[in-house]
Amino acid sequence: MRRKKFSNKASTIPDVKSVLNDLSDRFNLSIAVLKGKAINYYFEILDSLNPVFKEFVKISDLTEGILYVKVSNSSIRNELFMFNNYILKTVNDKMGSRFINKIVLVS
């Protein structure tokens, strides 16, 4: 059995970064990644305000610039309502653009 001989020519295999960028463009993954970042920033800010908030908060949806947040405790919902503008501004500052236009608190 003969062994294959490998040439010393430059490889035509694309690098990982170009493959991931191509897949991201092809399947529109960049929007999903941005949504994930915004949600993570939201929870970071909640944790910095009061770690108890995270126990009662669940993200329902993020579509068309509106973040829908489900809050299971009415007292926590009232406190979050008071911090709504601060959270919105801080998330958008961390994102580098106005990614979220409005935060809607639902029960």
Residue with the larger pLDDT of the pair 43 and 1:
43
Contacts of 34 (CB under 8 A, 6+ apart): 95, 99
Cα separation of 29 and 33, whole Å? Answer: 6
Taking only the tens place, the pLDDT of each residue in 17-62 is 787 777 777 776 778 888 999 999 999 999 999 999 999 999 999 9
Residue 61 has φ and ψ, to the nearest 5°, of: -165, 160
Taking only the tens place, the pLDDT of each residue in 67-78 is 999 999 999 999
Cα separation of 61 and 59, whole Å? Answer: 6
- The average pLDDT across 6-23 equals 72
- Give residue 8's pLDDT band: very low, low, confident or very high (50, 70, 90): low
